[in-house]
A and B are shown apart, each in its own frame.
Chain A
Amino acid sequence: MLDLAIRHSFPGGQGFTLDAAFTAPGAGVTTIFGPSGCGKSTVLAAVAGLLRPGQGRIVLDGTVLFDSAARRMVPPEQRRCGIVFQDSRLFPHLSVETNLRYGLRRAPRTAEGPGMEEVVSLLGIGHLLGRRPVALSGGEKQRVALGRALLSRPRLLLMDEPLAALDASRKAEVLPFLARLRERFSIPILYVTHALDEVDRLADRLVLMEAGRVLACGTLEALSARTDLPILAARRDAGVVLGCTVLGHAPEQGVTRLGFPGGEFAVPLESAVPGAPVRLRIRARDVSVATEEPRNLSMQNVLPAVVEAVEAGRAHEAMLRLRLGPSLLLARVTQDSVHRLGLRPGLPVWALVKAVAFTPGGGDNPA
């Protein structure tokens, strides 16, 4: 478990002060999400020990890494926090294999973790071992950097926007490896990003940061349903993330049925095994409502729901919170629709879901 509470001012900065505190449980991926310059990378550097915060305390699994009151600062080389940097930072004078072994050779004998062969095969970098980093593509570099950090047998794996420097196709190449890693090893991961698709794919928990402060933290499902967090709710792709289970496939109709507490979705046919958990992001702009049960509709997903709240959205818009049993959906509609349909809390409605963003893996990768 990581317990962190730090304050840090940057000398000569534009009055920017970091004041962050959160707790991340032992296993799984905790994602720090926020716009560029919100201080999320600073938090990571402080955990790694590469930055000494002005004041505060950082405790990892009962070990005090930093405590300004007790004047204690464990140097980075003794913290055993592996980092994957945005700019891979592979040693240019060493081969891929020697890079991979760099941390392994320096890990304590007693430390347990995956071996060389396992990591190499998991990341698919066996054919690169003899090469120099200069001869690798961006995606390959990040995979090697991931392996190098993993092989140092860290107690905590830190990732500082590991995919931000990659273009979309390279990113798509590396993301599945991250998902696999998360699924295979129980090592806790602290993942910094400003990309929501990475959050959807990898995050178990979310720490939302803005302007040096932690706005909220909790599970992705819980935070995505909150409308009081503008950095999530005001986005074009704002919407609730639902943890679902694959119920079954209907190949002749070309659909896969997914169940969630409070209802079912039909999505275009997927290859996931029945029973596997997946994660759906239901964007608020893809949800509309009807006060009567619609008929003769091309849409497949029409779910009975109850309006829980009508909240003001951006100009001329409203955000509806729809209750489906224990689950919640957000719907973005116009103020005009709210008046025309007389939408108010307690009103039973039909939620029409136009599209479902299917995130393979999401919860626990079925692959």
Chain B
Amino acid sequence: MTWLSPEEWQAVRLSLTVALRSVAFSLPPAVLVAWLLARGRFPGRGLLDAFVHLPLVMPPVVIGWLLLVTFGIRGPVGALLHDWFGVRLVFTTAGAALATGVMSFPLIVRAVRLSLDAVDPGLEEAARTLGAGPLDRFVTVTLPLIAPGILSGAITAFAAGLGEFGAVITFASNIPGETQTLPLAIYSATQTPDGEAVAARLAAFSFAMAVVGLLLAEFAGRRMQALLGRAPC
């Protein structure tokens, strides 16, 4: 490919890596939290619900700063990770993925919860009376039925993750090859004299990726519904 420079390709690849890792990070806990919110009856459920949705309504920079305070080398969690496991999150690709994952967490929770609400609890009851324990019926009944929601949540989170800016730049900084993802590269280009062309190329590329992503999500969703036997086959 000649129309993107090696540095620009690096930003694209990094964006993909960060978005992918962020989804991998946040998907399992998001499914768990969605399940707790949809099925759980416990005190503080409303509080958890509000807490999960914070990244949607708070400025991303504030989220990034909170992560910095918590996961920084001197932060309560960051210090532990550094001292015990030698893991450093600030200013690393993993850190960028963490910040992106936190930002897209509510997107997955919402998508999964919507599909959980659509699952008839009667089916889980039926599985129960047929001898299936809690984990068994989650894996064999609930999970397959919410698979379309999980998939669409993951794709949305991935697409949103490609463009995460505020939280990443605050927590992981703007280091080419390490944390400089596509939007950060575009931002940097606009700050450079004669960077207009670079910014335009990167912007066009991210537009193309977004369109492909949306089409993929649509196709995967339909395919999945058919597999689940929702539509006559």
How far does the alpha carbon of A351 sit from the alpha carbon of B123 in the complex, in Å?
A: 53
Of A2-10, A83-91, A306-314, the one with at least 4 CB within 8 A of chain B: A83-91
Query: Which A residues touch B123, using CB under 8 A?
Result: 89, 91-92
| Distance between B208 CB and nearest chain A CB, rounded to angstroms | 34
Cβ-based interface call for A61 (8 A): no
CB nearest to B224 among chain A residues: A93
Query: Which A residues touch B231, using CB under 8 A?
Result: 134
| Distance between A183 CB and nearest chain B CB, rounded to angstroms | 24
How far does the alpha carbon of A80 sit from the alpha carbon of B128 in the complex, in Å?
A: 10
Cβ-based interface call for A352 (8 A): no
How far does the alpha carbon of A132 sit from the alpha carbon of B226 in the complex, in Å?
A: 11
In the complex, the answer to whether A76 meets B229 with C-beta atoms within 8 Å is: no
Query: Which A residues touch B131, using CB under 8 A?
Result: 77-78, 80, 103, 106-107, 152
How far does the alpha carbon of A106 sit from the alpha carbon of B139 in the complex, in Å?
A: 14
In the complex, the answer to whether A133 meets B229 with C-beta atoms within 8 Å is: yes
In the complex, the answer to whether A50 meets B229 with C-beta atoms within 8 Å is: no
Instruction: Give the number of chain A interface residues (Cβ < 8 Å).
Output: 29
Cβ-based interface call for A82 (8 A): yes
Instruction: Give the number of chain B interface residues (Cβ < 8 Å).
Output: 24
In the complex, the answer to whether A92 meets B230 with C-beta atoms within 8 Å is: yes
CB nearest to A108 among chain B residues: B131
B130 partner, pick from A50, A87, A92, A148, beta carbons under 8 A: A148
Answer whether A48 and B129 are a contact pair too, CB < 8 Å, given A87-B122, A89-B120, A91-B123: yes
In the complex, the answer to whether B132 meets A77 with C-beta atoms within 8 Å is: yes
In the complex, the answer to whether A134 meets B133 with C-beta atoms within 8 Å is: no
How far does the alpha carbon of A345 sit from the alpha carbon of B73 in the complex, in Å?
A: 100
In the complex, the answer to whether A77 meets B133 with C-beta atoms within 8 Å is: yes
Query: Which A residues touch B141, using CB under 8 A?
Result: 91
Residues of B within 8 A of A (CB): 120, 122-123, 125-133, 136, 140-141, 144-145, 227-233
CB-based closest 5 A-B pairs: A106-B131, A103-B130, A132-B229, A89-B126, A76-B128
26 A–B contacts, CB within 8 A, in A order: A48-B129, A49-B129, A50-B125, A75-B128, A77-B129, A77-B131, A83-B126, A83-B129, A87-B122, A89-B122, A89-B125, A89-B126, A91-B123, A92-B123, A92-B230, A93-B229, A102-B130, A102-B132, A103-B131, A106-B136, A107-B131, A132-B233, A133-B229, A134-B229, A134-B232, A135-B232
